Every structure is written in structure tokens, then in C-alpha cells.
Chains A and B, each alone.
Chain A
Amino acid sequence: MKPIHAIAAAAAVAALALSAAATAGTLDDVKARGVLRCVVSTGIPGFAYPDANGVWKGFDIDFCRATAAAVLGDPKKIKEVTATGKTRFTLLNAGEGDVLWRNTTITFSRDVGVKLRFHGVNYYDGQGFMVKKSAGIKSATELDGASICIQTGTTTELNLADYFHSNNMKYEAVTIETNDEARQNYVAGRCDVYTTDASGLAATRSTFANPDDHVILPEIISKEPLGPATRQGDAQWSDIITWVLNATITAEEKGITQANLDDMKNSKDPEVLRLLGVEGNQGKELGLSKDWAYNIIKAVGNYGEIFERNIGVKTPIGLERGLNALWTNGGLQYSPPFR
């Protein structure tokens, strides 16, 4: 072996050893750093945006804060790693973020191909269409030959192609980069239809001077379950993210809110007591403190509170709970029990 090869080999081994050491436990890394790094979006209405003071807010940000509250006991100890749709997975896989809370559709290729781990669904979305009411279109099946504004680099492109192909229809794609660009193009009439996730359509529709002049068609052509992701190969960290999400849903199921949190500590329900760390040892089994779930709800509230605060009907986004209602209310949000 030539010396140069020996050096290269040694460097490779060292790098492998180091990488093994560094990926041994994201939890330990986060605790040692004292800050949770969340991969978040560079701006999605209601899901992630900076307010006038530069503080990040939104649905996804609240879940990031919930994770920080569970792991570090303080929802403020987060660092937002802003990522575009194209850089989000590489940033996560390169270790620049600990967890991804970024409006990301769970798909086979992302789970298996990109080598991510997904941990449940924090928002059930689906791709829809918006058209001007004056066009008189009532159903997506009438869209043959339409020009359609669509964002690049997302799953929506493929869904659209599939839908039109299977319905034997043609369309002209007007590809755009951001939601605002789509809005301008749609208003200016360069496309007849705007398609994106229904939550995005609602947000865009709310920005028009007369929202009633635009209709969101009844067809939802895809399933877009959005959820948090982590790198593969860290089972403990995966468990934590899974159960942070489940804790917010269970809290809503059990009626635990930010307001009544301390009273609920005297609840008769053993599951509530386990969740809040009054009984049992669940926090420790996760590698967290006893009051991890208590800290989550104290910081951001239960799932319903997070939803209503950021994207619910009282916000300008004005989304109904719909599929994201609890299973007891006809929705899909369902948490495995804390047992």
C-alpha cells in the first residue's frame, strides 16, 4: 500500500468512526448543544413565517417548539434552519438539522429512497384546484385544456400529471416557484387554474379583495399527509418525535388545554396522569424528563389549540378542521394510547 493510500484509508476510517460517534444519539447531541435545530420552511402562510420582530411563528414552528419543550424543557430553545423545498432533505441528512417540521408530504420514495423516517401526520392535506367563479366551472373534470399554475419541485406536479392522464384530459402547465408568484399569475390571468395543497389554496384565496369571486373545486386529487421527519437509524430520537406529536393529539382527546393543565394533574384518568408525568415512568423511558408532555402542553397547547391558533377558522387562513378533526369528531387525527 502506497503511503498516500494508507493516509486516505486512515482518514476514511476516522471519518466513519466520527460519523458513528456523532449519529449515536441525536438526543444527546441536542441536550449537549442546549438548542433544538428544526428544519423549517422559508415561509408558508400559517405554517412558518417570521413576525415583525423576527420571531418565527406558525403551525410547524409550534410543533418544533413542542419538541424543544419536551427535550429541553424550554420552547424558546430552538433554532430555525430555513430550507427550501429543494434543500430540506439534504440539510437534514447532512446533519444540519435535528428534525424536520416543514410541511412535508410523506411518500414512499421519501421514506425509502431519501432514507428518512416519518413519524405520523400532523396535517392531512390534499391537492385541490381554484378557479375564478366567473369561469363557471363546477368540477375538476371540466378542466380539459386549461392552463394551470403549479409549483415546481413538489409532489403536486406529479399528482396533476397523473390526474389529467387518468381522466384523458390535457392541460398547459405554467410552472412557478412560489405561492405569491402563483397568485400574481392567476390574478393576471396567465393561468385559469391554480393548483396546490388545499391549505395553500385557502390561504391564497383569503388574500383576494373579494374571496367569493373564486371557488375551490370539490375534487381533492391527492393525499398529502404532512408530517415530521428525522434521519434513519436513530430509534430513540424517532420515538421522541412520534410521541411528541401523539402527546398533543392525546391531550386534545382528553381535553387537556393550556388553561386547565394544572387542574388536570388531579384528574382521575390514569392515562392523563401518565401523560402529565404524575404517575408512571414514561418520560424516563423516552430519555426525557418526567414532565415532558406537561411542558409541551404548557408551551403550545394541545393539537386543537395549535391548529386554531395558527390556521383555524378564526385566523385569516381560515381552515376548517376537516380531516384534521379528532377521530371522535369524524376526522383522522388519532393517537395511540399512552399505556
Chain B
Amino acid sequence: MAEATQAYEVGRHPELPPPRSEVGVLGWLKHNLFSSPFNVVLTLLVVWFLWTVIPPLFEWMVLNSVWTADTRKECWARMAVPEDGACWAFIKGRIQLFIYGFYPHPLRWRVNLSFVLLVLAIVPVLYDKLPGRKYALWYAAAFPFIAGWLLVGGFGLTPVDTDQFGGILLTLIIGVTGISFSLPIGILLALGRRSTMLVPRVLCVLFIEFIRGVPLITLLFVAATMLNYFLPPGTVFDLLVRVLIMVTLFSAAYIAEVVRGGLQAIPRGQFEAADSLGLTYFQAHLTIVLPQALKISIPGIVNTFIGLYKDTTLVLIIGMLDPLGIGRASLADPVWLGLAREVYIFVALFFFICCFSMSRYSLYLERKLHTGHNY
């Protein structure tokens, strides 16, 4: 009481700690979860939902799971109640198949080496603070060709047919090729579409509109089956190469539209400033327009890449076995019949990890490149 009655001179009142209901766990809860009656209801609903879903899922995936068994029967016999837990032994026994597909066993070091080289190539591209980044980028540009040589063979290495590729290896090949080639092609297409020259513009518009107007699955079907009718029989034109071309072109058309959106957001003044400085078309675009346009386009570009990465599972329809295809084929093994849940959850986890990392990286990139005003 004494404190309350104490008189202070104006402006001399000491700062008091905030009320307890505004700080710490309680404050956080109040502000984030129970700030209004509607939010109270939502919070309770979500808690109830998580409460009903997570414990059984955790029980199924972790507590009751079985990690060693040779058949499904044995797996289920090891559980208190059959089918009550995940039978990860199935996935564990086939993890090599999921990673390498049908790549010949003695040559799998080449796949492993490619994975390591891929990481080494990606790091300098993603982080610009590495020493000697300039040389690392040259290496990254050469990586697709080095990896191609390692995986396919030839020139001193035992050749491996691309139809033996499968699983995560296949997804990464299609994903990485599609992503790294579709971005430059997409930028060129976007520039072409905005060009004042008639022929490139019409060609780019036709290409983009055609590809965007056709589902990817149709393009893959054309790649897998129709092309052979057009090409002379006996022409060996690898199915994987056909798929890579189609996937790259497909995603390039989408990238082109995303980049065009970015280009259109650049005020005319920027172009005019570049012109008045006497910069050529390429100088102006490389130094002034594209850096800004691409920065704006990052969310859209990453969105397209994530879509492309997930679309790689469509190759299943034309008989190529990506992780999902390997999983489904493995489900036909008589001694393991009926474990579809395990397979689909495993594949979903794999794709989630890949796509979530991509989306996190894009957030990081946006923040790093955010040089404008912060509102």
C-alpha cells in the first residue's frame, strides 16, 4: 500500500515489470491461443484433434513397430495384436532397393559418390559465404555431366542401362536435372516472351502455352510410347532421357511464367535508367532487371520446383520405378503382402523431408535478399 501511495515527480516513475498475464508461458498462451472466443474454440478443437490422432499414430509408428522380421506373418506375430504396429522390417530389408533401384550391386559406389558430389555441388550454390565459391560454382555447373558419366558409365566405366535406375536415385536424377536445366530455359523463355522481336516472341508464346495447356502425364505418355512411332525403329533413344527432356520443358514453361511475373513487377523506370546509362540489352538485364525480378519470383520458382519434384512420381504410370513405384512393386512380394501403409508413409516422409527443406531454404533466401523496405 505504501508503494501505491508514494508520489513521484513527473517522468520519474520507475519502470514496473509487465503484468504476469502478459509475459512468459501464460502471456504467450493468452496472445496466441486464447485471444478471442473464436480462437479459444479453435484451440480446443485442435488440441482435441491432436490428442485423438497423435497417441495412436505414435503407438503404431514407434512403440508397437517391429524392426526385424523376414515375413509379414513373422512381423505380425511379434506384435501384441497383429496389424497394431508398423512393420518397418519390410522397409528396412528393402532400403537398398528404395535408394538404388535396380542399379548393379558392385557398381553402387558410383551412386554413393554421385550423392556425395551432389551435396558438394549444392552447398556452394546455396550459401554464398563459402571461401573459393567462384571455383566451386564452376564445379557445380559441371556436376550434372560428371554425375551423368558416373551413373551411366562409358569412357572407362562399365556402362549401366538407365532402366536399372530406380528409387530415390531416379527421383533425384529427374528432380535435379529438371530443376537445374529448367531455370535457365525458363528465364530465356520469359525474356523471349517479352521481346519486341516478333519471331522469338511468337515462338516462346506458342511453346509456353502449348506446354502449359497439356498435362505432364500426357507429355510423359508421349515420351514413353508415341515418340517411338515417329522415330525410325531401332533408334535407341533412352526412355530416361526422353522423360528428362519432357520434365525439363514442362517445368521451364511454368518457370517462364513465374519469371515473367517478376519481370512485369519491375518499374519501367529501371529499364529506362539502364537505357539512359547506355547499357546494352544483356547488360541491363543481367545487372539491373533480372536480379530484381528473380528476387521477387523466388517463392513462385521454389513452388514450381517443389511441384516438379513431387511430379516425378508420375513416371510410375509409364513403368519407371521411383520410390513410390518400388514400394508398390515390393508390395507384390507374397511374403510381405498387405503392408501398404508402411510403404506409403515411408515414401511420404521422404518427399516431405525433401520438399520441406526446399521451402525452408527459399524462406532463408528471401530474407537474405530482402534489401528493400521492411514493413
Q: Is B234 touching A18 in the complex (CB atoms < 8 A)?
A: yes
Q: Is B337 touching A45 in the complex (CB atoms < 8 A)?
A: yes
Among B96-104, B112-120, B358-366, the one that faces the other chain is B96-104
B328 interface neighbour in A15, A180, A311, Cβ under 8 Å: A180
Mark out the residues of chain B between 113 and 171 whose CB falls within 8 Å of any chain A CB in the assembled complex: 161, 163, 166
B225 interface neighbour in A18, A94, A180, A315, Cβ under 8 Å: A94
Q: Is A207 touching B233 in the complex (CB atoms < 8 A)?
A: no
Return A209 CB to nearest CB of chain B, in Å.
Answer: 4
**Closest B-chain residue to A18, C-beta based?**
B232
User: B45 interface residue, CB < 8 Å from A?
Assistant: no
User: A51 interface residue, CB < 8 Å from B?
Assistant: yes
Q: Is A203 touching B228 in the complex (CB atoms < 8 A)?
A: no
Known contacts A84-B317, A87-B319, A96-B228: A49-B333 contact under CB 8 Å:
yes
Known contacts A18-B232, A84-B317, A84-B319: A43-B340 contact under CB 8 Å:
no
Q: Is B163 touching A79 in the complex (CB atoms < 8 A)?
A: yes
**Closest A-chain residue to B72, C-beta based?**
A207
Q: Is B224 touching A91 in the complex (CB atoms < 8 A)?
A: yes
Q: Is B333 touching A87 in the complex (CB atoms < 8 A)?
A: no
Return B96 CB to nearest CB of chain A, in Å.
Answer: 7
B330 interface neighbour in A15, A50, A83, Cβ under 8 Å: A50
User: A317 interface residue, CB < 8 Å from B?
Assistant: yes
Chain A residues within 8 Å of B228, by CB: 94-96
User: A86 interface residue, CB < 8 Å from B?
Assistant: yes
Chain A residues within 8 Å of B334, by CB: 45-46, 49, 203, 206, 310-311, 315-317
Q: How far is the CA of A235 from the CA of B83 in the complex (A)?
A: 51
Chain B residues within 8 Å of A7, by CB: none
Q: Is A94 touching B97 in the complex (CB atoms < 8 A)?
A: no
Q: Is B72 touching A48 in the complex (CB atoms < 8 A)?
A: no
User: B94 interface residue, CB < 8 Å from A?
Assistant: yes
Q: How far is the CA of A238 from the CA of B318 in the complex (A)?
A: 26
User: A44 interface residue, CB < 8 Å from B?
Assistant: yes
Q: How far is the CA of A156 from the CA of B64 in the complex (A)?
A: 38
User: B186 interface residue, CB < 8 Å from A?
Assistant: no
User: A208 interface residue, CB < 8 Å from B?
Assistant: yes
Q: Is A49 touching B329 in the complex (CB atoms < 8 A)?
A: yes
Q: Is B338 touching A82 in the complex (CB atoms < 8 A)?
A: no
Mark out the residues of chain A between 83 and 99 whose CB falls within 8 Å of any chain B CB in the assembled complex: 83-84, 86-87, 90-91, 94-96
Chain B residues within 8 Å of A91, by CB: 224-225, 319
Return B87 CB to nearest CB of chain A, in Å.
Answer: 12
User: A168 interface residue, CB < 8 Å from B?
Assistant: no
Q: Is A43 touching B76 in the complex (CB atoms < 8 A)?
A: no
Mark out the residues of chain B between 209 and 251 whose CB falls within 8 Å of any chain A CB in the assembled complex: 221, 224-225, 228-229, 232-234, 239
**Closest B-chain residue to A37, C-beta based?**
B163
User: B321 interface residue, CB < 8 Å from A?
Assistant: yes
Return B341 CB to nearest CB of chain A, in Å.
Answer: 8
Q: Is B320 touching A82 in the complex (CB atoms < 8 A)?
A: yes
User: A42 interface residue, CB < 8 Å from B?
Assistant: yes
Q: Is B337 touching A15 in the complex (CB atoms < 8 A)?
A: no
Q: Is A44 touching B93 in the complex (CB atoms < 8 A)?
A: no
User: B192 interface residue, CB < 8 Å from A?
Assistant: no
Interface centre among A21, A48, A81, A180 (most CB of B within 10 A): A180
Return B202 CB to nearest CB of chain A, in Å.
Answer: 21
User: A22 interface residue, CB < 8 Å from B?
Assistant: yes
Q: How far is the CA of A51 from the CA of B336 in the complex (A)?
A: 10
Chain A residues within 8 Å of B102, by CB: 50, 54
User: B82 interface residue, CB < 8 Å from A?
Assistant: yes
A203 interface neighbour in B221, B329, B337, B340, Cβ under 8 Å: B337
Known contacts A52-B97, A94-B229: A83-B319 contact under CB 8 Å:
yes
Please classify how large the interface on chain A is, using the bins under 10, 10 to 19, 20 to 34, 35 or more: 35 or more
Q: Is A50 touching B329 in the complex (CB atoms < 8 A)?
A: yes
Q: How far is the CA of A90 from the CA of B319 in the complex (A)?
A: 12
A46 interface neighbour in B317, B318, B332, Cβ under 8 Å: B332
Q: Is B331 touching A180 in the complex (CB atoms < 8 A)?
A: yes
Q: Is B332 touching A207 in the complex (CB atoms < 8 A)?
A: no
Q: Is B233 touching A23 in the complex (CB atoms < 8 A)?
A: yes
Known contacts A79-B163, A94-B228: A48-B332 contact under CB 8 Å:
yes
Return A263 CB to nearest CB of chain B, in Å.
Answer: 31
Return A99 CB to nearest CB of chain B, in Å.
Answer: 16
Known contacts A50-B97, A87-B225, A96-B228: A183-B338 contact under CB 8 Å:
yes
Q: How far is the CA of A42 from the CA of B330 in the complex (A)?
A: 9
User: A328 interface residue, CB < 8 Å from B?
Assistant: no
User: B348 interface residue, CB < 8 Å from A?
Assistant: no
Return A35 CB to nearest CB of chain B, in Å.
Answer: 9
Chain B residues within 8 Å of A87, by CB: 221, 224-225, 317-319
User: B326 interface residue, CB < 8 Å from A?
Assistant: yes
Return A339 CB to nearest CB of chain B, in Å.
Answer: 37
User: B40 interface residue, CB < 8 Å from A?
Assistant: no
Mark out the residues of chain A between 239 and 293 whose CB falls within 8 Å of any chain B CB in the assembled complex: none
User: B68-110 toward A: CB 8 Å interface, digit per residue (1/0)?
Assistant: 0001110010000011000000000110110011100100000
Chain B residues within 8 Å of A183, by CB: 338, 340
User: A109 interface residue, CB < 8 Å from B?
Assistant: no
Q: How far is the CA of A179 from the CA of B333 in the complex (A)?
A: 13
User: A329 interface residue, CB < 8 Å from B?
Assistant: no
Q: Is B161 touching A79 in the complex (CB atoms < 8 A)?
A: yes
Q: How far is the CA of A14 from the CA of B231 in the complex (A)?
A: 11
Chain B residues within 8 Å of A203, by CB: 334, 337
Known contacts A81-B319, A84-B318, A317-B334: A18-B329 contact under CB 8 Å:
no
Mark out the residues of chain A between 48 and 69 whose CB falls within 8 Å of any chain B CB in the assembled complex: 48-54, 58
What are some 29 contacts across the A-B interface (CB < 8 A)? Answer: A15-B232, A19-B233, A22-B233, A41-B332, A42-B321, A42-B328, A43-B329, A43-B330, A43-B332, A45-B332, A45-B333, A45-B337, A46-B332, A49-B333, A50-B333, A52-B97, A82-B320, A82-B325, A82-B329, A87-B224, A95-B234, A178-B328, A180-B331, A183-B340, A184-B340, A204-B338, A207-B338, A209-B76, A209-B82
Which 4 pairs of residues, A with B, have the shortest CB-CB distance?
A207-B338, A43-B332, A49-B332, A43-B329
Identify the B interface with A (CB < 8 A): 71-73, 76, 82-83, 93-94, 96-97, 100-102, 105, 161, 163, 166, 221, 224-225, 228-229, 232-234, 239, 316-321, 325-326, 328-335, 337-338, 340-341, 343
Given contacts A44-B332, A50-B97, A95-B234, 16 further A-B contacts (CB under 8 A): A18-B234, A19-B233, A22-B234, A41-B332, A43-B330, A43-B332, A49-B334, A50-B326, A52-B94, A90-B225, A91-B225, A179-B331, A180-B328, A310-B334, A315-B334, A316-B337
